[in-house]
Amino acid sequence: MKKIFFLILLIIPSLIFSQGQKKAAIDWIPLASAEKWSAKYDREVLIFFFRKGCDYCEKMKKEVLTDPQVIKTINENFLPVMIDGKSKQPIVFNGKEYVNDHPFEEDAPWRHNLFFELVSPTNGNFYWPNIVILNNKLEKRAQFPGFQSKPLLMRNLKRFL
């Protein structure tokens, strides 16, 4: 009898607290996982390109990507990936390896070649941050350059829901 009572005490709280909890953050996943799951689950990929030291990137991370409505929309409808667009790490995407071929390690002002592949210049310039939406075949559908306020980002994302 004591064992049953003890099991009930362990199981019921976990069932109660696991139901309906709101996510406090976007479930960022690696690009390789997004590629694999995109076709399997017929989901679009959302890539958030940022760069270190970018005030607008940090502002978007802190003010927009932490909003419960934005978190819910992205987590429920996209496979979200966050990539440092100036990283020196090689990235394999769609069977091809992309690198940042800028020769200097300490100050990598050059963009990663994957960023250059997926992001089109806007008015001749590249803006940070940048969000790219890919379909389940990993083809670019849209990009949102620069800082996106919550209302603007939600309006842009709703076109793909």
Give per-residue pLDDT as tens, 86-131: 998 999 999 999 998 877 665 555 789 999 999 999 998 899 999 9
Residue 80 lies in a domain: yes
Q: What mean pLDDT comes out for the span 2-27?
A: 53
Q: What is the pTM of this model?
A: 0.83
What's the structural domain count of the chain? Answer: 1
Residue 7 lies in a domain: no
Round to whole Å and give the CA distance between 32 and 147. 26
SS3 138: coil
Beta strands 44-50 and 78-84, pairing class: parallel
pLDDT band at 21 (very low <50, low <70, confident <90, very high): low
Strand intervals (E) in the chain: 44-50, 78-84, 91-93, 96-98, 130-134, 140-145
Round to whole Å and give the CA distance between 40 and 46. 16
Range(s) of the domain holding residue 65: 28-148
Residue 6 lies in a domain: no
